[in-house]
Amino acid sequence: MNPLYNIWNYNYIQQQAQQQYHQNQVQQVLEAAHKLQDYLDSADKVDPAYQGALTATCCAVLADYAKKHGII
C-alpha cells in the first residue's frame, strides 16, 4: 500500500494511535515494576530495628494514595 495513501486512511491512523497507546502503557508497566523493585531493594537495606518505622511510613503513603483516589 502506498504510504501516502495512509495519511488519509482514518482506520490506519486509528490503528497507529492504538499501537502507540499500547506501547506507552507497556512502558509505564515496566517503569512501575522497576520502581517497585528499587523500593524493595531499598527496604532490604533498612536495619531491622527501623523496619517498624519503614512499615508505618509506607502505610501512611498508601493511605494518602487511597484517599486521593477515593478508595477509602
In the chain, where the domains are located: 3-68
List pLDDT tens digits, range 4-61: 777 788 888 899 999 999 999 999 999 999 999 999 999 999 999 999 999 999 999 9
Which pLDDT score, from 0 to 100, does residue 9 have? 86
* Residue recorded with cell 532490604: 44
Exposed/middle/buried for residue 31 (C-beta within 10 Å: 0-12, 13-18, 19+): exposed
Residue 56 makes CB contacts below 8 A (sequence gap 6+) with none
> pTM higher than 0.85 for the full model?
no
